Amino acid sequence: MLLAGGLASLIPGRAKAGVKLTGYSKSAFSTSEKQTPYEAVTTYNNFYEFGTNKDEPAVHARDFKTNPWALRIDGEVAKPVTLDLDRILKLAPLEERIYRFRCVEGWSMVVPWIGFPLSAVINLAAPTSKAKFVAFESYFSEKQMPRWRYAGIPLPYVEGLRMDEAANPLAILAVGLYGEVLPNQNGAPVRLIVPWKYGFKSIKSIVRIRFQERMPPTTWNISNPREYGFYSNVNPEVDHPRWSQAKERRLGEFFKRDTLKFNGYGEQVAQLYAGMNLKRDY
Ligand code: MTE
């Protein structure tokens, strides 16, 4: 059983935070660094569909309906499929992944996510040899997202990864944090986490995963191509035009710390970019 009390204990339409996830294992990919308190992780958010101030998503996403949910997986695949929440939660054994999470704005946190490797989706859908990229799309509803007009970015939010990035064992789909179902403001019921990239790649509340030949458009690149590239790997050597990326502030800490290339995950991911000029292809 995945959820304490079973899935039936979730009131339809109200898959609320606070519901415990059980039966997950610990992962060797986890950091032992001090975890950012739950309170900060769940009240200091970027989820522009629910407001652009950090404290707004926790308020405006309170009644966001995340159950029932439909996640469509299609494109260049042998087996297109639509998954409901129950099937999403059973795609693969759940693991706790305690990851560093670095936002391009210069803050960072350490979060105990619960999820499973994104490769479970690749295995399920069986992409054809034409599939070179994976495109992700967030849920969007004007009705459910009352602050959408003020987002200042085109919606729905879209993101993308190269196939080999998506298959890397560090890339996960998260369904929880701190042992509980994801709070709405953190991207319920299912979101991407790619810990070696800036936080904006970690798209929330995903409704579609499409395998395709072409590099997909990404929200921040559409909004401001000079400031945001497709790869967006954490890189202290490449400054954002408005923010130095050399240092970061861990939420709750006073002094800044040095930012690590690939957010400290170089051992697992540096080989993905061998031969690439990361100063040009940022
Ligand atoms: N996904 C959607 N759909 N909408 C967003 O505004 N913001 C991104 C990313 N995913 C965003 C999104 C940004 S900029 C960051 S830093 C992270 O989510 C923040 O995740 P968190 O609120 O769980 O810390």
The verdict on the CB of residue 194 being under 6 Å from ligand 1 is no
Query: 113 CA to middle of ligand 1, Å?
Result: 14
- Which of the listed residues 45, 47, 250, 263 should we mutate to test ligand 1's pocket, taking the one with most ligand atoms within 8 A of CB? 47
Which CATH number among 3.30.420.40, 3.30.70.1050, 3.90.420.10, 2.30.30.790 corresponds to the domain 7-273?
Answer: 3.90.420.10
Q: What is the pLDDT of residue 243?
A: 85
Query: 200 CA to middle of ligand 1, Å?
Result: 5
Q: What is the pLDDT of residue 2?
A: 41
Q: What is the pLDDT of residue 13?
A: 38
Sorted by where each begins, the domain ranges of the chain are 7-273
Per residue in 175-226, pLDDT (tens digit) is 999 999 999 999 999 999 999 999 999 999 999 999 999 999 999 999 999 8
243 token code pair: 């923010």
Query: 152 CA to middle of ligand 1, Å?
Result: 14
Q: What is the pLDDT of residue 17?
A: 54
Give nearest CA residue, ligand 1 atom 16.
199
**Ligand 1 atom closest to Cα of residue 156:** 3
Query: 78 CA to middle of ligand 1, Å?
Result: 31
Q: What is the pLDDT of residue 279?
A: 86
Q: What is the pLDDT of residue 246?
A: 97
pLDDT by position in tens, the chain (length 282)? 344 433 333 433 334 458 999 999 999 999 999 999 999 999 999 999 999 999 999 999 999 999 999 999 999 999 999 999 999 999 999 999 999 999 999 999 999 999 999 999 999 999 999 999 999 999 999 999 999 999 999 999 999 999 999 999 999 999 999 999 999 999 999 999 999 999 999 999 999 999 999 999 999 999 999 899 999 999 999 988 888 999 999 999 999 999 999 999 999 999 999 999 998 888
- Which of the listed residues 49, 107, 202 should we mutate to test ligand 1's pocket, taking the one with most ligand atoms within 8 A of CB? 202
The verdict on the CB of residue 263 being under 6 Å from ligand 1 is no
